[in-house]
Chains A and B, each alone.
Chain A
Amino acid sequence: MNVNQATFTTAVLDPETAAPAGLTDPEGRPAGKRFSVYRNNVVVSLTSALETAFPVIHALVGEEFFKAMAGVFLRAHPPSSPLMMFYGTEMADFLADFEPVKHLGYLPDTARLELALRESYHAADAAPMDPETLVNLPPDRLMETRLRLSPAVRLVRSAYPITSIWRAHHDPAAEKPQMRAEDALIMRPEYDPTVHRLPPGGAAFIGALMNGNKLGGAVAAAEEAAEDFDLTQTLGLLIGGQAIIGTEEEV
Chain B
Amino acid sequence: MLDATPNRRDRLPNRPGVGYKPQHFNAIMEDARPVEWLEVHAENYMGAGGRPLAQMRHLAERFAISVHGVGLSIGGEAPLDREHLARLKHLIDWLQPAQFSEHLAWSTHDSHFLNDLLPLPYTEETLARVCEHIIQVQDVLGLQMLLENPSTYLAFAESQMAETDFLAEIARRTGCGLLLDVNNVFVSATNQKTDPKSYIDAFPMHAVGEIHLGGHDEDEDDHGAPLLIDSHGAEVVDPVWALYDYTIEKAGPRPTLIEWDNDVPDWPTLAAEATRAAAVLDKVTA
Task: List the interface of chain A (C-beta within 8 A of B).
Answer: 1-6, 8-9, 12-13, 19, 22-26, 28-29, 31-35, 37-38, 41-42, 45-46, 49, 78-85, 121-126, 151-152, 188, 191-192
What would be 19 A-B contacts, judged by CB atoms less than 8 Å apart?
A: A1-B157, A23-B156, A29-B223, A33-B222, A34-B153, A34-B221, A37-B227, A37-B229, A38-B119, A78-B112, A79-B113, A82-B108, A82-B115, A83-B46, A85-B46, A123-B50, A151-B48, A152-B50, A191-B50
Specify the main secondary structure of chain A where it touches its partner.
loop
Given A25-B154, A29-B223, A122-B49, the answer on whether A82 and B44 have CB atoms closer than 8 Å is no
- Residues in chain B near residue A32, CB distance under 8 A: 221-222
- Residues in chain A near residue B113, CB distance under 8 A: 78-82
Given contacts A24-B156, A85-B46, A125-B53, 10 further A-B contacts (CB under 8 A): A8-B109, A13-B114, A31-B154, A38-B153, A46-B115, A78-B112, A122-B50, A123-B50, A125-B3, A151-B49
* Cα–Cα distance between A123 and B81 once the two chains are bound (Å): 23
- Residues in chain A near residue B115, CB distance under 8 A: 42, 45-46, 49, 79, 82, 84
- Residues in chain B near residue A2, CB distance under 8 A: 121, 158
Total A-B residue contacts, Cβ distance less than 8 Å: 149
* Cα–Cα distance between A65 and B115 once the two chains are bound (Å): 22
For residue B165, CB closer than 8 A to chain A, the reply is no
B76 touching A5, Cβ below 8 Å: yes
B1-36: contact bitstring with A at CB < 8 Å (1 yes, 0 no)? Answer: 101000000000000000000000000000000000
Given A34-B227, A82-B113, A123-B50, the answer on whether A24 and B154 have CB atoms closer than 8 Å is yes
Shortest Cβ distance from B157 into chain A, in angstroms?
5
- Residues in chain A near residue B48, CB distance under 8 A: 122-124, 151
For residue B275, CB closer than 8 A to chain A, the reply is no
Closest to A121 in B: B50
Given A26-B192, A49-B115, A191-B50, the answer on whether A1 and B154 have CB atoms closer than 8 Å is no
For residue B234, CB closer than 8 A to chain A, the reply is no
Task: List the interface of chain B (C-beta within 8 A of A).
Answer: 1, 3, 43-44, 46-54, 70-73, 76-77, 81, 83-84, 87, 106-116, 118-119, 121, 153-158, 191-194, 219, 221-223, 225, 227, 229
Shortest Cβ distance from A78 into chain B, in angstroms?
4
- Residues in chain A near residue B106, CB distance under 8 A: 5
* Cα–Cα distance between A213 and B1 once the two chains are bound (Å): 25
B227 touching A33, Cβ below 8 Å: yes
* Cα–Cα distance between A84 and B158 once the two chains are bound (Å): 33
Shortest Cβ distance from A246 into chain B, in angstroms?
15
- Residues in chain B near residue A12, CB distance under 8 A: 114, 118
A1 touching B223, Cβ below 8 Å: no
* Cα–Cα distance between A250 and B70 once the two chains are bound (Å): 47
Q: Nearest 7 A-B pairs (CB), nearest first?
A: A82-B71, A122-B47, A124-B48, A191-B51, A125-B49, A31-B154, A78-B112
Given A5-B77, A123-B48, the answer on whether A22 and B156 have CB atoms closer than 8 Å is yes
B155 touching A9, Cβ below 8 Å: no
- Residues in chain B near residue A121, CB distance under 8 A: 47, 50-51
Contacting A35 at CB < 8 Å: which of B72, B77, B154? B154
Contacting A85 at CB < 8 Å: which of B44, B156, B158, B221? B44
* Cα–Cα distance between A38 and B150 once the two chains are bound (Å): 13
Closest to A9 in B: B109
- Residues in chain A near residue B52, CB distance under 8 A: 122
Contacting B50 at CB < 8 Å: which of A1, A3, A9, A188? A188
* Cα–Cα distance between A53 and B108 once the two chains are bound (Å): 21
- Residues in chain B near residue A5, CB distance under 8 A: 76-77, 106, 109, 118
Shortest Cβ distance from B155 into chain A, in angstroms?
5
Closest to B53 in A: A125
Shortest Cβ distance from B193 into chain A, in angstroms?
4
Shortest Cβ distance from A214 into chain B, in angstroms?
27
- Residues in chain B near residue A25, CB distance under 8 A: 154-155, 221-223, 225
* Cα–Cα distance between A50 and B266 once the two chains are bound (Å): 24
- Residues in chain A near residue B156, CB distance under 8 A: 3, 22-24
Shortest Cβ distance from A23 into chain B, in angstroms?
5
B116 touching A45, Cβ below 8 Å: yes
B155 touching A26, Cβ below 8 Å: yes
* Cα–Cα distance between A84 and B87 once the two chains are bound (Å): 14
* Cα–Cα distance between A80 and B81 once the two chains are bound (Å): 11
- Residues in chain A near residue B119, CB distance under 8 A: 38
Shortest Cβ distance from B237 into chain A, in angstroms?
18
Shortest Cβ distance from B90 into chain A, in angstroms?
13
- Residues in chain A near residue B3, CB distance under 8 A: 125
- Residues in chain B near residue A34, CB distance under 8 A: 153-154, 191, 221-222, 227
* Cα–Cα distance between A80 and B114 once the two chains are bound (Å): 9
